Amino acid sequence: MTRFDVIIAGGSLNGSTLALALAQGGARVAVVDKLPTPTQLSSDFDGRCYALALASQRLLAALGLWEGVVDDAQPINHVKTGDGRAGEGPLGGFLHLDGAEIDEGLMGYMVEDRHLRPVLLKAMESTPRITVMAGQEIVAQEAGPGAVTVTLASGEQLAASLLVGADGRGSPTAQRAGISRTTSDYGQTALTCAVAHELPHGDTAHQFFMPSGPLAILPLKGNRSSIVWSESHARAEELAAASDEAFLEALRPVFGDFLGPIRLAGQRFAYPLNLTVTDAIIAPRLALVGDAAQGIHPIAGQGLNQGLRDVATLAEVITQARRRGEDIGNPLVLERHRAWRSFDRTALTAATDGFNRLFSNDNPLLRSVRDVGVDIVASLPDLRQRFIREAAGLTGDLPRLLQGRPL
Ligand SMILES: Cc1cc2nc3c(=O)[nH]c(=O)nc-3n(C[C@H](O)[C@H](O)[C@H](O)COP(=O)(O)OP(=O)(O)OC[C@H]3O[C@@H](n4cnc5c(N)ncnc54)[C@H](O)[C@@H]3O)c2cc1C
């Protein structure tokens, strides 16, 4: 049986970043993903574009990965949010957050999945301490006093001091460990694609709150933006099945004309949305990171950022424990990770859930409550600055990688 320090179940964005961070700290890591690598690299695999907070960008820089991404990354200097109504497009009453109001000068970057994923997967392949086992599924795990043993569908067995579940929403690893989760359907599906427009976006991310769900228009390189358009499942299904031209016809009045004429600039993708949160993020010789621990609404573009906070925290806790000669699967070590992540995990999950419920409706009472909220934030520079720092991921007790410092 091959022995590692850590086995990671799931080698997508969070699993691969964690593997690279742990390897930087000296650990020997196995990454098992049921998908073959070419599937993850194919052009129609994932149409998402991520609003990466500045702290997440710093993590990628500290791991030596940012130089592979930077040329395709679009800075986000402004965030504008406001109400909108189907058929009327965006309405007035914007809250404008300007990155120039904080010392760092910007809030983050937009990065397309097709540019980020290959950088992570290639970096894993060229890191001697990482063994990638792609196209292999974990079917069983057993935590013992000195090691956790993992069985693959092929029958092969691996052992390690710690198993990490980075295997996404509904994580089979969490399930096998008996960790329960609470899941609730938002009744919404996010439609996402890139659009080209005539006018420049001015490095600005827009979020319009429509009664059926938010529409985000996020700047990409050139005169292009990525949209994340949340609609009811039934309406989204219709739109997903429509021709490109019919889809654009439906999008135009929602998008508005502030960027001039628009056209599709890539494939369309659909993601049904739910909130899924586990009751625990640790168990004997097990820790969970990313969507495996909490899958949230994309309303604030925070899911991956939150996952990378899990990654940075766990990598630091494990690396320090190894340097001290501790057993990294020891409950006391894992408890440090749980305690460090506890507040941020609960606060952000509740905030994104609350925002979506407050903003995805046309109730006049809730509309006036949020208008007052927006006016208050807009009129108080200190509060506005706090929101900007939150969006940039710069608040709280940040682990070293999120400060841009190596482990
Ligand atoms: C429309 C949309 C827009 C978004 N925009 C943003 C944004 O702007 N900013 C942001 O921060 N976040 C955003 N998010 C959230 C972000 O996409 C997710 O949080 C992130 O991709 C989760 O990555 P992950 O690695 O945790 O999980 P996943 O990507 O789900 O990966 C799980 C991996 O585990 C593997 N796996 C599963 N079961 C097994 C098994 N038994 N054995 C081995 N492997 C297994 C799978 O093959 C997969 O590769 C968005 C989400 C959506 C839906």
**Edge-to-edge strand order for the sheet containing 49-53?**
49-53, 108-112, 74-76
**Per-residue pLDDT tens digits for 143-159:** 999 999 999 999 999 99
pLDDT of residue 210: 81
CB 138 within 8 A of CB 145: no
Would you say residue 25 has pLDDT above 80? Answer: yes
The answer to whether the CB of 192 is under 6 A from ligand 1 is: yes
| pLDDT mean across residues, the chain | 92
The answer to whether the CB of 291 is under 6 A from ligand 1 is: yes
Token pair belonging to 7: 């086995």
**Per-residue pLDDT tens digits for 249-289:** 999 988 988 899 999 999 999 999 999 999 999 999 999 99
Task: List the domains of the chain with CATH numbers.
Answer: 2-45+113-183+275-357 (3.50.50.60)
Rounded distance, CA 230 to CA 107, Å?
Answer: 23
Would you say residue 358 has pLDDT above 80? Answer: no
Confidence of residue 383 (pLDDT cuts 50, 70, 90): confident
Confidence of residue 92 (pLDDT cuts 50, 70, 90): low
Q: Which of 7, 18, 33, 176 has most ligand 1 atoms within 8 Å of CB, for mutation? A: 33
Q: Which of 304, 305, 308, 345 has most ligand 1 atoms within 8 Å of CB, for mutation? A: 304
Query: Residue whose CA is closest, atom 22 of ligand 1?
Result: 291
Query: Residue whose CA is closest, atom 3 of ligand 1?
Result: 298
**Per-residue pLDDT tens digits for 56-84:** 999 999 999 999 999 999 999 999 888 77
The answer to whether the CB of 238 is under 6 A from ligand 1 is: no
Amino acid at 274: N
CB 92 within 8 A of CB 82: yes
Centroid of ligand 1 to alpha carbon of 307 (angstroms): 9
The answer to whether the CB of 356 is under 6 A from ligand 1 is: no
Mean pLDDT of 309-327: 98
Cα angle: 98, vertex 102, 108; to 5 degrees: 65
pLDDT of residue 91: 62
Percent over 70 (pLDDT), the chain: 95
pLDDT of residue 350: 83
Amino acid at 71: D
Mean pLDDT of 189-207: 96
